[in-house]
Amino acid sequence: MNIEKNVVVKMHYSVMDKEENLIDSSYDDEPLEFIQGFGFLIEGLEKALEGKQSGDKLSVDVQAADAYGERADGLVQTVPMSMFGDVEVEVGMQFRATTDDGEQTVIVIDVTDEEVTVDGNHPLAGIDLKFDVEILDVRAATEEELSHGHVHGEGGCGHSH
């Protein structure tokens, strides 16, 4: 069976930046399972999987625009420390922030006595990525999986919808 919209894909992957620094990998853990076409993967990787089948191994270069997008300078903002109340703010902390486009996660990238600089970009924004993928299984998704929008293990999904 070929990978196409609405099929379940089970695969191992590793992802690196263009200098081949390992960012993440499933090879030492459980394989990744998802329904193709539901936006679970970044666009560039999902497109590269189309038409592949169980047993295929591939390397995929994904440009930043088709991964987590380009960095947007407008998503870096400096705000008064007073906005955080009594919270002891440190670099690397993540917060949910309300923006004109709804809620988004921001990461603290700088702290002074008076101000906090936060970045709303995804940590991998602006980075070209390389994936090594091994497709382990491809099967038709069940009606229940399609209606729930995710893969179910043996015995169902383990929660109510």
Q: Under a CB-based contact definition with an 8 Å cutoff, are residues 30 and 156 in contact?
A: no
Position 158 in a domain = no
**In whole angstroms, what is the distance from residue 142 CA to residue 144 CA?**
5
**CATH at 130:** 3.10.50.40
pLDDT digits (tens, 9 = 90+) for 35-62: 999 999 999 999 999 999 999 999 999 9
Paired tokens of 131 = 């994936």
Q: How many domains does the chain have?
A: 2
The confidence band for 153, taking pLDDT boundaries of 50, 70 and 90, is confident
Closest CA to 8 of 136, 139, 150: 139
> Same structural domain for residues 62 and 13?
yes
pLDDT at 161: 46
Count Cβ neighbours within 10 Å for each residue of 88-126 and write b for 16 or more, e otherwise: eeeeebeeeeeeeeeeeebbbeebeeeebbbbbbbebbe
Position 77 in a domain = yes
> Same structural domain for residues 11 and 55?
yes
pLDDT digits (tens, 9 = 90+) for 19-28: 999 999 999 9
pLDDT at 102: 81
